[in-house]
Structure 1
């Protein structure tokens, strides 16, 4: 079983990014399991003084990331950047050497979120994670008031999700480039 961890950069209840990730869970093929991490908003502010003796909620995030085979991230753009709470979550795991080479798909729910997507890609590469370009797609659902069920009911959107998840799974199966 290939295990993927989905993380939304949004804390909004009706987030298009979270809906996109919930829809990805709904199309996961046999042999793959996608779990949505929902603790971004509960993480304490990153503090390098306690990084190596982090609170249990931070250790839970690290353990989930270490245990998964790949990560799917969908994040909105706030003021041309990555949302603060999500950047905070990434700060907590930036020094986790066990995550180097972790395959990542960066989904973008809005084609207009180019600044945050570029910033997120830079952060992910700095962390040593491996962005799977074929799995990193713009799937335009933002502003359409679609929940996961509505996304799954749209064959074009579902097709794009299948493409992204399939490309990430393929990258995991073949392993990192040599």
Structure 2
């Protein structure tokens, strides 16, 4: 039996980046950190999400940005006890910062947003603003696809979550299950 492949991040190498620059000259690559937070259910796959939240913010000075990041950390801590919270990602595109939340349902995301902790955070942001520009929204999933894994040994597919190939039995690294 061949060894199990490990699922991990792979940034584009120089050749792939050059290809992208040639084919899509208007595409941007922004160096920087990506933050992520798993919900109380552990590392669940994206197929568990029935809704997404998207937040946007831009800062005009470093002191406000640092205050904002601490503010966001407090909100993320509160998300860990929110019913239906699956995962949060923070990332940037130049000066534009985004947060993408995966939730089991739009109703559960809305309950968190309308809850005491989030409402207090919004009140504080309005009283003592740190963001130069801000946006937030909740989207209900229209269609939820299934996630599949492809076996490097036999080419078979397994529907996630899956620990082994349904064709040859080889162990698969789902990335979301231990």
TM-score between both structures, scaled by the size of structure 1? 0.26
TM-score between both structures, scaled by the size of structure 2? 0.26
